[in-house]
Chain A
Amino acid sequence: MTKWKRIKLNEFKFPKVTDYNKEYLSYGQLPQGVELNKINKTNNNLIIENLNNNITGVGDEFTSHVMANYNTGISLYIPKSTNIEDPIKLEFNMDDENPTTIDQNIIIASANSESTIIFDYTSKDENNFHNGVTKVYAKKNSVVNIIKIQRMDDKSYNFDSNIAYIEGRAVVNWISVEIGSDISGSNFTSILEDEASEGNLASIYLGNGTRKMDLEYTMIHKGRRSISNIETRGVLMDQATKVFRGNLDFKKGAKLSKGVEEEFVVLLDPTVKSHSIPALLCEEDDVQGEHAASAGQINDNQLFYLMSRGLDIREAKQLIIQASFRPILDKIPMDDLRDLILEEIDRRLLNG
């Protein structure tokens, strides 16, 4: 495999894919008509139906690897006007017995439905590997919330490609939490196909140790009055490397659309590497597109104030970091999940 993007992943080979045998799916009450199935090689009607929608995601090598080797995942069909109140949760916990998660997820949300799906990727042992593809079809007026938490072990590799086809007045809200693994590449693409389609992406990332991340968020505006919002907060420390790519792509015909993207990164050490590439592509005049990016250190005055209140420097920094993540984390409606993420961040900051 050749060098992968700016991270320059040299001599990378896909590991041998073995079965993923652990239980990973939990859910509450499913309303009538909802079809939720685990994916395996014999039960994949939805996958076959949607196979033609080839996506690039983090890269063709990775998505075609998923197509050929998937060993887990779900297919979810939500009928019209159905609201799944309890979130559906997928927890993949890789270990020596189940070292690879190659998940393929298809979510079809019919008109006027509402649903929340949580993906949580963790790993216990070194050299675990995750490569996945998630496709979301949000039909008219539906709302789909996807929360993806990646907190794998510092020696693991993570690749994740996500795409949503969003019809008129439908909304897809992505929340991405990237705080683990050694090498991580993720891509979230939203195609705003019709009138007033809406895609929102909120993400946080934490780069510590020697972690390298390539995070790409793409919003393709095709429909009139479509709306997109990318909001990213990050912290980099130690020798971490991060590449942020935010793409707002206004296609011809996307009149009166609006897209906003923002990235704020706090840099804590002189050894970090931070690349940001916010792209605005535009073929339609009657749109509003905006991007903003900023990078800097923790404000000395803030630190000084907190320390004058009796916090030591580490605690003070920790508090400021938490505060910068807070606006994104507050979008997660489950308290327990939010606390879990905050604990994980604290743990990683303390170890670092």
Chain B
Amino acid sequence: MERKKTNIEDIDRGIYDIKDEFTYKYKSDHGLSREVILEISKEKNEPQWMTDFRLKSLEIYNSMPVPAWGADLKDLDMDNIITYIRPNTEMKHSWDDVPDDIKNTFERLGLPQAERESLAGVGAQYDSEVVYHNIRKELVDAGIVFMDIESALMEHEDIVKEYFMKLVPPQDHKFAALHGAVWSGGSFVYVPEGVNVDIPLQSYFRLNAPGAGQFEHTLIIVEKGANLHFIEGCSAPQYKVNNLHAGCVELFVKEDATLRYSTIENWSRNMYNLNTKRALVDKNGTIEWVSGSFGSKVSMLYPMSILKGEGARSEFTGITFASTGQYLDTGTKVVHAAPNTTSTVNSKSISKNGGHAFYRGLLKVTKDAHGSKSTISCESLMLDNESKSDTLPVIELYNDDIDIGHEAKIGRISDEAIFYLMSRGIDEEEAKAMIVRGFVEPITKELPLEYAVELNNLINIELEGSIG
């Protein structure tokens, strides 16, 4: 095998980095003001309550301080972020109607092909608006709603109004307030009682414009006894200016329902990824998070599960890969708020070439959550000593009838393991790559096949040139 010693900056991120020419139908001014928000709301023809909600969120945003912990956000200049860009197309239901440049972007990302082969429905967002949304007819017949959230706001206003930003209120933190003020695009999914969606739905978010922000809102309601797998993909090409992603995901898992939410996030290295994800799980319901964080300059992402009903369950499987210039502060929060709830957290992180991976987690067991069980396991792998890796899990227990276990390990690839593989005729780099792949295998096996392949490719891209 040829040795590749390029720096990570020079690595071809291939398909992810191909930029389209920046054209648009409408874009808001830089920065944030009452006028910008009124314009966005007007562009979208929104009901008055939503306009009011946006303005109220703006007030909250202005009144809240930037979080003092975690990532350094002082390079993030909100005055230079374009909050709203309408691409040069309307929403389409067939790929043939989507303009060629946008369609080609998604073709390169493999979305239409995946739709044909393995997905039940696809939404594609380009900058601030959803450009494509389609769902198989049999799912529509079963009563499943899968559409962009703007359309949902028109067609299912009562449902959206009932759930929208109820789980993540704008008061939650500064960037939730920002999201409430300028949100645009995203998907709405409603799975009626007892319906089992056995092939996944996917939304793909692509941010093409430089110096812009993407603020999509994903709202998923899985009714009693229903079952859904939802996949979220994100990417953007590399620019010299900072981009911002402050999306919001709200998941409502009702009694006996199951939702699996998978994310492969591959933002470019100029992105601030300050996303908020939260799930509310009713009696005997299950939320399963599968989360891969590879890209972005700064990430602060802690998907949260609130186990509200007795016997609710959450499972978090996450992997974070931090390289040069990246600070990825990720983890998960679990609140056991009802008896006999269980949670499992399995997190892995890899840091290399000066990257900084930070696991930050919270486990909270409230007074009423007797009989609850939780296991948390965090493992960190460091590939060199320029990098950093930190683990900070907070455990808060307010109840004695529980069973909690936590473990964390930090370290590097053992020389013995490499020596063994090399004695079997595998060269050093391949041996390291094999060990890293083995390390993340518990995560890859949770993903649908084509995403597992994508993840492995990403690891190959990331590992090339890292050793030697």
Give the one of B385, B400, B401 with max A CB within 10 A.
B400
Contacts of B395 in A (CB 8 A): 274-277, 293, 295
Contact residue among A267, A275, A281, A292 (Cβ-Cβ distance under 8 Å from B406): A292
Q: Is B401 touching A297 in the complex (CB atoms < 8 A)?
A: yes
A267-B400, A276-B395 known; A282-B390 Cβ under 8 A: yes
Contacts of A268 in B (CB 8 A): 400
A293 nearest CB neighbor, chain B only: B406
Contact residue among B383, B394, B400, B405 (Cβ-Cβ distance under 8 Å from A285): B383
Whether, in the assembled complex, A333 has its beta carbon less than 8 Å from a beta carbon of chain B, the answer is: no
1/0 per residue, CB under 8 A from A, across B386-409: the answer is: 011111111111111111111111
For A, the interface residue count at a CB cutoff of 8 angstroms equals 34
Q: Is A274 touching B380 in the complex (CB atoms < 8 A)?
A: no
Contacts of B388 in A (CB 8 A): 281-283
Q: Is A295 touching B393 in the complex (CB atoms < 8 A)?
A: no
Q: Is A282 touching B389 in the complex (CB atoms < 8 A)?
A: yes
Q: Is B387 touching A285 in the complex (CB atoms < 8 A)?
A: yes
Complex Cα gap A278–B406 (Å): 9
Q: Is B385 touching A283 in the complex (CB atoms < 8 A)?
A: yes
Q: Is A292 touching B397 in the complex (CB atoms < 8 A)?
A: no
Contact residue among A280, A287, A289, A295 (Cβ-Cβ distance under 8 Å from B397): A295
How distant is B320 from chain A, measured CB to nearest CB, in Å?
14
Contacts of A285 in B (CB 8 A): 382-385, 387, 411-412
Contact residue among B382, B401, B402 (Cβ-Cβ distance under 8 Å from A282): B382
Complex Cα gap A289–B409 (Å): 6
Complex Cα gap A62–B156 (Å): 59
Whether, in the assembled complex, B348 has its beta carbon less than 8 Å from a beta carbon of chain A, the answer is: no
Contact residue among B385, B392, B398, B410 (Cβ-Cβ distance under 8 Å from A252): B385
Contacts of B400 in A (CB 8 A): 236, 267-270, 272, 297
Whether, in the assembled complex, B34 has its beta carbon less than 8 Å from a beta carbon of chain A, the answer is: no
Query: 8 Å CB contacts to B: which residues of A250-271?
Result: 250, 252, 255, 267-270
Contacts of B393 in A (CB 8 A): 277-278
Contact residue among A250, A270, A278, A281 (Cβ-Cβ distance under 8 Å from B399): A270
Contacts of B384 in A (CB 8 A): 285
Complex Cα gap A285–B391 (Å): 14
Whether, in the assembled complex, B5 has its beta carbon less than 8 Å from a beta carbon of chain A, the answer is: no
Q: Is A291 touching B398 in the complex (CB atoms < 8 A)?
A: no
Contacts of A291 in B (CB 8 A): 391, 406-408
Contacts of A295 in B (CB 8 A): 395, 397, 402-404
Whether, in the assembled complex, A15 has its beta carbon less than 8 Å from a beta carbon of chain B, the answer is: no
How distant is A215 from chain B, measured CB to nearest CB, in Å?
14
Q: Is B408 touching A290 in the complex (CB atoms < 8 A)?
A: yes
Complex Cα gap A291–B411 (Å): 12
1/0 per residue, CB under 8 A from A, across B367-386: the answer is: 10010000000001011110
Contacts of A270 in B (CB 8 A): 367, 370, 399-401
A265 nearest CB neighbor, chain B only: B397
Query: 8 Å CB contacts to A: which residues of B194-250?
Result: none
For B, the interface residue count at a CB cutoff of 8 angstroms equals 33
Whether, in the assembled complex, A279 has its beta carbon less than 8 Å from a beta carbon of chain B, the answer is: yes
Complex Cα gap A296–B405 (Å): 9
Q: Is B410 touching A286 in the complex (CB atoms < 8 A)?
A: no
Q: Is B396 touching A275 in the complex (CB atoms < 8 A)?
A: yes
Contact residue among A255, A269, A278, A286 (Cβ-Cβ distance under 8 Å from B408): A278
Whether, in the assembled complex, A284 has its beta carbon less than 8 Å from a beta carbon of chain B, the answer is: yes
A273 nearest CB neighbor, chain B only: B398
Q: Is A280 touching B385 in the complex (CB atoms < 8 A)?
A: no
Complex Cα gap A283–B400 (Å): 36
Complex Cα gap A284–B395 (Å): 26
B358 nearest CB neighbor, chain A only: A281
Complex Cα gap A286–B415 (Å): 10
How distant is A128 from chain B, measured CB to nearest CB, in Å?
30
Complex Cα gap A285–B386 (Å): 8
Contacts of B370 in A (CB 8 A): 270
Contacts of A296 in B (CB 8 A): 402-404
Complex Cα gap A292–B375 (Å): 11
Whether, in the assembled complex, A54 has its beta carbon less than 8 Å from a beta carbon of chain B, the answer is: no
Give the one of A278, A282, A284 with max B CB within 10 A.
A282
Whether, in the assembled complex, A288 has its beta carbon less than 8 Å from a beta carbon of chain B, the answer is: yes
Q: Is B380 touching A282 in the complex (CB atoms < 8 A)?
A: yes
Contact residue among B367, B391, B411 (Cβ-Cβ distance under 8 Å from A287): B411
A270-B401, A295-B397 known; A282-B410 Cβ under 8 A: yes
Whether, in the assembled complex, A301 has its beta carbon less than 8 Å from a beta carbon of chain B, the answer is: no
Contact residue among B383, B392, B396, B403 (Cβ-Cβ distance under 8 Å from A279): B392
How distant is B425 from chain A, measured CB to nearest CB, in Å?
26
Whether, in the assembled complex, A294 has its beta carbon less than 8 Å from a beta carbon of chain B, the answer is: yes
Contacts of A280 in B (CB 8 A): 380, 389-392, 408, 410
Q: Is A294 touching B410 in the complex (CB atoms < 8 A)?
A: no
Contact residue among B391, B394, B402, B407 (Cβ-Cβ distance under 8 Å from A275): B394
Complex Cα gap A289–B391 (Å): 10
How distant is B398 from chain A, measured CB to nearest CB, in Å?
5
Complex Cα gap A349–B212 (Å): 62
Contact residue among A284, A286, A290, A297 (Cβ-Cβ distance under 8 Å from B409): A290
How distant is B274 from chain A, measured CB to nearest CB, in Å?
23
How distant is B462 from chain A, measured CB to nearest CB, in Å?
16
Contacts of A282 in B (CB 8 A): 380, 382, 388-390, 410
1/0 per residue, CB under 8 A from B, across A15-54: the answer is: 0000000000000000000000000000000000000000
Q: Is A279 touching B391 in the complex (CB atoms < 8 A)?
A: yes
How distant is B393 from chain A, measured CB to nearest CB, in Å?
7
Q: Is B394 touching A286 in the complex (CB atoms < 8 A)?
A: no
How distant is B340 from chain A, measured CB to nearest CB, in Å?
15
Contacts of A275 in B (CB 8 A): 394-397
A248 nearest CB neighbor, chain B only: B410
Complex Cα gap A289–B407 (Å): 11
How distant is A183 from chain B, measured CB to nearest CB, in Å?
19
Contacts of B390 in A (CB 8 A): 279-282
How distant is B227 from chain A, measured CB to nearest CB, in Å?
33
Contacts of B408 in A (CB 8 A): 278, 280, 289-292
Contacts of A288 in B (CB 8 A): 409-411
B411 nearest CB neighbor, chain A only: A288
Q: Is B412 touching A277 in the complex (CB atoms < 8 A)?
A: no
Q: Is B404 touching A294 in the complex (CB atoms < 8 A)?
A: yes
Complex Cα gap A268–B400 (Å): 6
**Beyond A295-B397, A296-B403, 18 extra complex contacts between A and B, CB < 8 Å:** A267-B399, A267-B400, A270-B401, A274-B398, A279-B390, A280-B391, A280-B408, A282-B380, A284-B385, A289-B411, A290-B408, A290-B409, A291-B391, A291-B406, A292-B406, A292-B407, A294-B404, A296-B402
Can you identify 10 A-B contacts, CB atoms within 8 angstroms? A274-B395, A274-B398, A278-B408, A279-B391, A281-B391, A286-B412, A287-B411, A291-B408, A293-B404, A294-B406
* Interface set of B (CB-CB < 8 Å, partner A): 367, 370, 380, 382-385, 387-412
